[in-house]
Structure 1
Amino acid sequence: MQYKANTFALTRRGFLGTALGGAAALAAGPSFAASKTVNVLSHKVHQTVLGDGGNDLLADWKSSKDADVSWTTFDSNPLQDRLFREASLGSTDYSVGYMIDNRPTSQIAALFEPLGDYLAKDPIEEFDDIAPGLVKGMTVDGNLIGIPVRHATQGLFYNEALLEEAGIGAPPTTLEELVEQAKKLTFTSSAGTPVVGMVLASDLAVFPVMFARAFGGDFIDGDFKLVPKPEAMETGLSVLRDMFEAGALPRSYATTKNDDQVTWIQQGRAAFTVLPFARHAQLNNPEQSRYPGKIKAIEFPVSANLKGTTPMSSVVEAWAMVIPKNASDKELAWSFIKEVASKRVTLGMALNGNGPVRVSTYSNPDLIAKNPLAEIEAKVLAGARGAFPPFPEAARAQGIMLEEVQLAVLGRKPVNEAVAAIIERVTPLMPA
């Protein structure tokens, strides 16, 4: 729990903070409390990018509204659990919550305010500037329940130095070229490091979904059609299996995690990976990376058969701000959301490392100077969408899909049988 030391305003939950938090408040000295407080449930990163504690992007809003913001932060999954519990109570102290876009089923969405009337009466600045795929991801049963605030859009990262060493002059423009280059880059580098062509985590749906989409398929599309093109899913998994058999995926694929992807790319142990564009700075951090300035990113490529006709729809995960129906001060909550969603604050958060949800933000000179991937990320974001739409059994469906994918990639099950099993096992879990 995060305790805000520069206010005397305490909620009943704030009062239950730790003794250390109370001591910190006393050490900070007396201050004048604002007349109103917005209690926010979020991940720590959302508080950080707003400059809380220094260069506060909400300072003017707080002054004009005579209001303060009290943050309670958790990691992602505990945060969602707490948010849904709070929204299901008779009332809650929290007026604003941060929700991940793959969580709002019809049942969950019913716990939160439909925001269409708020937008109509008190519009958000240039709301159409917010990427449409992110808005759609927070629209449930025809109602917008969340205002997008942060995204992580996937790109294809590559080590330029390793490509040059292998005699490859440019990154791939098609999925087939990616596979060819990954195989060629499965070698021992001049530094004596064994390199695999690509490193991917086996426990995340984003990767098989990206490969299926590269061939025009999907796991579950926006209309809740399960594996709409089985042949495309089969082709995508066959490619992953072929790469594994060729050694272009790690032998440890079955146990590879997301953090491993970062480490392997930084150390030059892999030439390609798929990560959010926002990882660029970390991957090129000279204190962590052996190849600072050499790790670059492009849009994940489609198959040569689709190039120029069917655009790639990269996977994106987004966060949005929501208002519980049982919140006490919804008007102040909406005012907070409006301010955070403004063009000025969106830019400020982006400069602090946030994935900006407004397409126009990417053309800002200050952001371009700080983020060399701004232009390509904006292009990818415009067509990006979630790995699958939210529904009550989504977590189980994802687990089944990943189980079958792993069997197929490791060669323990024929690819066509794995895809058939995904369809058979997930169908009973799909919404009616």
Structure 2
Amino acid sequence: MTHHWTRRQALQSALGGAAALAAGPLWAAGSTLNILCHRVHQTSLTTGPAGDLTAPWRNSANAECVWTSFDTNPLQDRLFREASLEKTDFGVGFVVNSRATPAAASLLAPLDAFQAKAPIEDFADIAPGLVSAMRFGGKLAAVPFRHATQALFYNEALLEERGIKAPPTSLEELVDQAKQLSFRSAAGTPVVGMVLASDLAVFPVTFARAFGGDFIGADLALLPDPDAMEKALTTLQDMFKAGALPRSYATTTNDDQVTWLQQGRAAFSVLPFARHTQLNRANQSKYPGRIKAIEFPQSQALKGKSSMASVTEFWAMGIPANAQDKELAWSFIRAMSTKANTVGAARNGNGPVRVSTYNDATFAKDQPFAAIEAKALANARVPLPAFPEAARAQTVFLEEVQLTVIGQKTPKAAVAAIAERVKPLLKA
């Protein structure tokens, strides 16, 4: 049996005088595993074509699951507040990579001893870039569960209209095609080559990685290759000047990217692979079935020398260090991380963190870009590691990128400013 507490129910219970809720859910620990999650985590493990994946574990462990769900930020706040108490009744908490700072990780139980005693099946199959982002001081703090990795989406019909027979195989070819695809289509629609949101670091980081660079490396190295970042900003500025990015770039949002692709107002964009279904939905898109995805291409100079480190965001399962039954919690994490349950959760709508899942016929048959996504996932990394001043660092970074793209600053000056302004934030 499973139970689910929504945020409203939790608040109503608190207002009704359930003092026990301050320390944990209504149900006591013991044969109960209390789980702090986002609703998508519960749904992907309990509802959908693959059914309730927790049932076999609940039967074998003689335990029940109590799910308490919140939206992302309230969930993280509640998790770390609970983990800061003397003890908590929550056994498992889902943590998002952007909040997994060393300080936050110190509130979670190191999992290496559990992994050594009762290992997760084929742990090496879980994408290494996700696992490494959950290691602090060499210790594993959480097990990846759900990811969203970025792809380059393109409108096949618009490419064909301009006589382009295949999507780009290099960054340079992408830029060239984006310029060709800034035109008025046969349907009379003004088309821009590429649409990108200006308020997300994902996009300039993606371009920097295409040149072999980065904003902040996994080891907190700021601008590990300044020349690569300068090339990335030069490329984006050139695309804007050529009309291959929207004139409204400075105010373009993530939702605009989806809408513009669906309406045929843009030929290219960068979005998670999971957006494929939405982009091609017949009741929303003017080009159902014609919007396709590839891995974001590297610069021609790097082809064959290195792999593209696609940008990914992800959730992981951790155990609060003050949890009362860590063995039960690990048993759950271990069971939900098997190959079979990863496939099942994927069929229920989860973004599978195992590379092998994309080769499973029961999942891949409904995923036209499974092989492409698997390749991207294998080398994917988070946009930047979590650290206390990460949000401010991203804001500074985006300010400099926006000024550069619209031509108010040179790429070289912007890179120098990023280095100068972000460096103190890394030390804070």
TM over 0.5: yes
108 and 74 in structure 1: CA distance in 2 versus 1, 3 angstrom threshold = same
Q: Does 1:298 pair with 2:287?
A: no
C-alpha deviation, 1:7, in angstroms: 6.4
Q: Does 1:287 pair with 2:277?
A: no
User: Which residue pairs with 2:91 in the alignment?
Assistant: 95
Contact 1:37 1:67 in 2 (8 A): yes
Gaps (5+ residues) in structure 2?
Answer: 17-27
Which residue of 284, 308, 311 corresponds with 2:307? 311
Q: Could you tell me how far apart the structure 1 residues matched to 2:125 and 2:10 are?
A: 40
Q: Does 1:223 pair with 2:230?
A: no
User: Which residue pairs with 1:197 in the alignment?
Assistant: 193
C-alpha deviation, 1:145, in angstroms: 0.4
Q: Does 1:112 pair with 2:108?
A: yes
What amino acid is aligned across from residue 36 of structure 1 in structure 2?
A: S
What secondary structure is seen at the aligned counterpart in 1 of 2:301? coil
Q: Could you tell me how far apart the structure 2 residues matched to 1:129 and 1:148 are?
A: 11
Which residue of 263, 269, 292 corresponds with 2:259? 263
Contact 2:29 2:324 in 1 (8 A): no
User: Which residue pairs with 1:36 in the alignment?
Assistant: 31
280 and 9 in structure 1: CA distance in 2 versus 1, 3 angstrom threshold = closer
Residues 65-108 of structure 1, C-alpha deviation per residue, up to 9 Å, x if partnerless? 22121112122222212211111122222111111123222211
122 and 139 in structure 1: CA distance in 2 versus 1, 3 angstrom threshold = same
Contact 1:106 1:140 in 2 (8 A): yes
Contact 2:109 2:321 in 1 (8 A): yes
User: Which residue pairs with 2:334 in the alignment?
Assistant: 338
User: Which residue pairs with 1:186 in the alignment?
Assistant: 182
Residues 271-302 of structure 1, C-alpha deviation per residue, up to 9 Å, x if partnerless? 00001111111111112111111111111011
Residues 366-398 of structure 1, C-alpha deviation per residue, up to 9 Å, x if partnerless? 111110111011111111111111211111111
Q: Could you tell me how far apart the structure 2 residues matched to 1:233 and 1:409 are?
A: 13
C-alpha deviation, 1:8, in angstroms: 8.3
C-alpha deviation, 1:189, in angstroms: 1.0
User: Which residue pairs with 1:322 in the alignment?
Assistant: 318
Q: Could you tell me how far apart the structure 1 residues matched to 2:247 and 2:89 are?
A: 50
C-alpha deviation, 1:223, in angstroms: 2.0
Trace 1:130-209 onto structure 2 (pairs within 5 A): 130-209=126-205
User: Which residue pairs with 1:50 in the alignment?
Assistant: 45
394 and 347 in structure 1: CA distance in 2 versus 1, 3 angstrom threshold = same
What amino acid is aligned across from residue 219 of structure 2 in structure 1?
A: D
C-alpha deviation, 1:121, in angstroms: 0.7
- Give the TM-score taking structure 1 as reference length: 0.91
User: Which residue pairs with 1:400 in the alignment?
Assistant: 396
- Give the TM-score taking structure 2 as reference length: 0.92
C-alpha deviation, 1:36, in angstroms: 2.1
Q: Could you tell me how far apart the structure 2 residues matched to 1:213 and 1:393 are?
A: 22
What secondary structure is seen at the aligned counterpart in 2 of 1:305? helix
Contact 1:185 1:197 in 2 (8 A): yes
C-alpha deviation, 1:18, in angstroms: 5.8
What amino acid is aligned across from residue 42 of structure 2 in structure 1?
A: Q
Q: Could you tell me how far apart the structure 1 residues matched to 2:53 and 2:3 are?
A: 21
Contact 1:391 1:431 in 2 (8 A): no
What secondary structure is seen at the aligned counterpart in 1 of 2:409? coil
Contact 1:38 1:333 in 2 (8 A): yes
Residues 2-37 of structure 1, C-alpha deviation per residue, up to 9 Å, x if partnerless? xxxx66899xx9776469x9xxxxxxxxxxx99722
Q: Does 1:232 pair with 2:209?
A: no
Q: Could you tell me how far apart the structure 2 residues matched to 1:104 and 1:400 are?
A: 21
Q: Does 1:357 pair with 2:316?
A: no
After superposition, the CA RMSD in angstroms is: 2.2
Gaps (5+ residues) in structure 1?
Answer: 1-5, 22-32
User: Which residue pairs with 1:385 in the alignment?
Assistant: 381
Q: Could you tell me how far apart the structure 2 residues matched to 1:105 and 1:167 are?
A: 48
Q: What is the percent sequence identity of the aligned residues? A: 64
Q: Could you tell me how far apart the structure 2 residues matched to 1:361 and 1:367 are?
A: 7
